[in-house]
Amino acid sequence: MANETVTAAKGFLAAGVACGIKSSGRMDLGLIHCPEGATAAGVFTTNKITSASVNVCRENVRRGQIKAFVVNSGNANACTGKVGRANAMVMCKKAAKELDTDQGSVLVASTGIIGEQLPMRKVAGGISAAAEKLAGGETAGTNFAKAIMTTDTEPKQGARVFEISGEEVRIGAAVKGAGMIGPNMATTICVITTDAVISKPLLIKALKRAVGASLNRLTVDGHQSTNDTAVIMSSGQAGNKIIKSQCPRYRKFLKNLIDLSRELAEKMALGAEGATRMFQVNIEGAASRKDAAKAARAVADYDLVKCAVHGADPNWGRIICAVGSSGVRVDGTKLSCYIGDVAVFRNGQPTRFDRKKVSDIIGQEKHEITVDLGAGTCSDYCYGCDLSREYITVNADYHT
Amino acid sequence: MANETVTAAKGFLAAGVACGIKSSGRMDLGLIHCPEGATAAGVFTTNKITSASVNVCRENVRRGQIKAFVVNSGNANACTGKVGRANAMVMCKKAAKELDTDQGSVLVASTGIIGEQLPMRKVAGGISAAAEKLAGGETAGTNFAKAIMTTDTEPKQGARVFEISGEEVRIGAAVKGAGMIGPNMATTICVITTDAVISKPLLIKALKRAVGASLNRLTVDGHQSTNDTAVIMSSGQAGNKIIKSQCPRYRKFLKNLIDLSRELAEKMALGAEGATRMFQVNIEGAASRKDAAKAARAVADYDLVKCAVHGADPNWGRIICAVGSSGVRVDGTKLSCYIGDVAVFRNGQPTRFDRKKVSDIIGQEKHEITVDLGAGTCSDYCYGCDLSREYITVNADYHT
């Protein structure tokens, strides 16, 4: 498939420009336009402190048709008080004026440094420049994906094409995020476009399911940002029979949406700050689903596990320590741990295993850690990545 | 004061030897002996998975007089099943035989790699060798402190001398721990000796208070180990009027114990794996004490804050992000943040502050971060340290 960007779906134009928010001169303002209007849904950070852009976006996405989405990088517009809120609204207003629509039909997101006011003259100039550059096609879509990047090393995007009721349906997406990523929502910023004909309630349902099965499962450093935003916009131009119940058409749409979201989550894990590899933590035999999720996250978040993965070191004791420390119910006489398919700890007893083989498994781009708590029948999973010196370099040496 | 070790208090002998558990040839077995017997109390990890030595130690400390404490480093004797439990008991039995006492009067602790069986022939030889070397004085005490080290870069010990009812009372202590340290108990291994005359109930009470105000406030990487053990032993040889109620004598003892414990906690923070500096997080204006503790720990545990501290970067947005992500109650219009005495965020609005000055504050050996949640009147605090490349080196490159 040629176009694997946010312009893959019919009815969407995109642009990315550099307007000077980033001192590096890189692209820092992205715009998506859906001239015929789109049904939209969003999920946002559960951090108690939310950016001004999250607040304005949350209000506008609840309204009717959405025409545009404006995103800036390099500045989070968070912890910026009343001035910040006014600036987020000015961003919507400026985009609305350029695109001849009303400001309530414009969504907004910001990502970057917390606590500084947006340079609004530059932002306004950027919105005008982006509006002029709006186009379909791969280049325009990729420019949008580049414009929302912060410490990401490359644009993260993808698309799916499939048939519903004999019509070709497309989903395109761009995502950014390399640090400050914890589950329970999201992914700093994720923009999904589709031309599927689907009712708003089902669109919301599908977005929540897809985010829950992908971006919510990813932890890079365990914390949600003040700005996490995932939005889906549907132009309805595919011409398929409308999806308005949880019928087979919905399930096909959902399957493709989840599949694409997981692809993006994996790209985020592998592209995380300093990450050289990723891993999936599976918890089985938990007393409850909640216990399983808690234990999985405890393992994926644990710096000592992340360091061991970085060193391809089969130091499974750290995995057990993380599980035990998480406070979930465990039967110590049944507790078992597997790295890949190798049992390293079984029924509370260490096994003899081939350390070289397990080190090779950990050394792969992606591997699975499975822990059986022996306390029930519930399971859950989570994605994590290794912790390297490069993470420290990115986050300590780069001064604000 | 000359002797600032575990032998500072009257009635205690100590030794440290190398018996070959550590391949480096460093000291790895420590022994404390109290020939006349001691009243003892202990607090242990709340990790659901506890080492065999923690289980045996917990049982024995509940009994009557304690005569000895044997500690090995280099191997945690955790996740070692029935064999591990038998080995922990053999350690007590061997020490009891050497010291002509019964095995129930011997406490045991282990620290090091999880999931491997102890080399019992070496351990037994080490116990015999240590028993022969038992002595009072500074050198013997320091050898004990060295023998319990794992990734610690130097022995951590200290002592206090003070008067109770006209008699000189002493407290001495040794502690180890540089990683896998999270609050809610303890500190890998902490051994405190005193010659104060004090009843067992008051000794337990004092230990819990002291650990709660010091070692429990420290987080290096947020997780408790399977082996956390803090034990206090009192020989009662100071001859002071017995402490058996919360009288002024108890308060004086407690004050000195807390003071010493905090000194050790600070030594642990500054000596943590890769740490170059430490910080204290104060949370004020919380809706509950629990909220305050949770928010303090969220800030101290957050890798992005730890990296910013490492880089002496006044990136306060990460502090606010951690607080918001912790789920505690916050009034966004009153939320304020101070680094040292400089307000960087006040009543939900960023301030203009001298970045160079704040960077200098962070660059000190220790600084304070204060967050006012604006949601109530409760407060709490926590200690943390920075996250450096060296932490990764210690924990990724060193293979098990």
By mean pLDDT, which of A264-268, B66-70, B172-176, B206-210 is the weakest? A264-268
8 Å CB contact of A223 and B345: no
What is the mean predicted confidence (pLDDT) over B21-44? 96
What digits encode the pLDDT tens for the residues A2-23? 899 999 999 999 999 999 999 9
pTM of the model: 0.82
Using the beta-carbon criterion (under 8 Å), do B307 and A399 form an inter-chain contact?
Answer: no
**Arithmetic mean of pLDDT, A298-315:** 90
Kindly indicate the confidence band of residue A325, based on its pLDDT and cuts at 50, 70 and 90.
Answer: confident
Interface contact A304-B180, CB threshold 8 A: yes
Closest residue, chain B, to A223 (C-alpha): B325
Q: Which of A80, A187, A193, A229 is catalytic?
A: A187
Q: How close, in Å, is residue B258 to chain A by CA atoms?
A: 26
Size of interface A-B (CB pairs under 8 A): 215
> Strand B156-164 to strand A229-234: parallel, antiparallel, or no bridges (unpaired)?
unpaired
Q: How far is A149 from chain B (nearest CA, A)?
A: 18
Q: What mean pLDDT do residues A173-183 have?
A: 74
A220 pLDDT exceeds 80? no
Task: List chain B residues with CB under 8 Å of A395.
Answer: 303-304, 307-308, 311
Decide if pLDDT at B381 tops 80: yes
> Between B223, B307, B322, which is nearest A322 by CB?
B223
DSSP string over B312-377: T---THHHHHHHHHTT----TTT-EEEETTEEEEETTEE----HHHHHHHHTSSEEEEEEE-SS-S
Which residues on A lie below 8 Å from B310 (Cβ)?
Answer: 392, 396
Which tens digit of pLDDT belongs to each residue from B263-307? 998 888 888 778 889 999 999 999 999 999 999 999 998 888 999
Q: How far is B321 from chain A (nearest CA, A)?
A: 6
Identify all chain B residues contacting A78, using CB atoms and an 8 Å cutoff: 317, 320
Contact criterion met (CB < 8 Å) for B81 and A350 = yes
Token reading at B120:
């019992």
Closest partner residue to B304 (CB to CB) among A221, A325, A389 is: A221
**Pairing mode, strands A378-385 and A218-219:** parallel
**Buried b / exposed e across B205-225, counting CB within 10 Å, b at 16+?**
bbbeebbbbbbbbbbbbbbbb
pLDDT in tens, B197-245: 999 999 999 999 999 888 888 877 667 778 889 999 999 999 999 999 9
Strands (E), B201-294: 218-219, 229-234, 278-286
Q: For residues B23-28, give the mean pLDDT.
A: 94
Mean pLDDT over all residues of chain A?
92
Question: Which residues neighbour A66 within 8 Å (Cβ) at sequence distance 6 or greater?
Answer: A34, A37, A38, A39, A40, A60, A105, A106, A107, A233
Nearest CA in chain B to A347: B81
Work out the average pLDDT over B352-368. 95
**Residue B200 distance to chain A (closest CA, Å):** 29
Which amino acid, one-letter code, is at B230? A
Q: Which of A79, A223, A315 sits opposite B400 (nearest CB)?
A: A315
User: Which chain B residues have a beta carbon less than 8 Å from that of A114?
Assistant: 315-318, 320-321
Give the residue on B whose Cα is nearest the Cα of A51.
B321
Determine how β-strand B229-234 pairs with β-strand B189-194: parallel
Q: Are residues A47 and B325, on separate chains, in Cβ contact within 8 Å?
A: yes
Which range, A111-115, B81-85, B148-152, B273-277, has the best average confidence (pLDDT)? B81-85
Beta carbons of B196 and B40 less than 8 angstroms apart: no
Cβ of B320 within 8 Å of Cβ of A223? The answer is no
ipTM greater than 0.85: no
Among partner residues B313, B335, B350, which is closest to A399 by beta-carbon distance?
Answer: B313
Q: Which has more pLDDT, B24 or B400?
A: B24
Contact: B387, A392; criterion CB under 8 Å: yes
The pLDDT of A271-292, averaged and rounded, is 92
Interchain pair A79, B179: CB under 8 A: no
CA dist., res. B216 & res. B181, Å (int): 9
- Asked about B187 being catalytic, the answer comes back as yes
B396 vs A contacts (CB less than 8 Å) = 307-308, 310-311, 313, 386-388
Which of B39, B45, B111, B187 does the annotation list as catalytic?
B187
Nearest to B195 by CA among B234, B240, B245: B234
Q: Over the stretch B106-149, which tens digit does the pLDDT of each residue have?
A: 999 999 888 899 999 999 999 999 999 999 999 999 999 999 99
Residues of chain B in contact with residue A182, where contact means CB-CB under 8 angstroms, are 325
Contact A49 B332 (CB under 8 A): yes
Per-residue confidence band for A268, with pLDDT thresholds at 50, 70 and 90: confident
pLDDT at B151 over 70: yes
Nearest to B156 by CA among B125, B184, B192, B122: B192
Question: Are the beta carbons of B389 and A389 separated by less than 8 Å?
Answer: yes
Residues from chain B that touch A226, judged by Cβ atoms under 8 A, are 317, 320-321, 324
A81/B393 touch (CB, cutoff 8 Å), yes or no: no
Count of CA atoms in the C-beta half-sphere (13 A) of B294: 15
Residue A399, pLDDT > 70, answer no
From chain B, the residues in CB contact with A47 under 8 A are 321, 324-325
Work out the pLDDT band at A186, boundaries 50, 70, 90: very low
Distance in angstroms (rounded) separating the CA atoms of residues A361 and B365 = 41
- CB-closest option in B316, B392, B395 to A115: B316
Contacts of B387 in chain A (CB under 8 A): 303, 392, 396
Residue of chain A whose alpha carbon sits nearest to that of B355 = A400
Nearest CA distance, B392 vs chain A (angstrom): 6
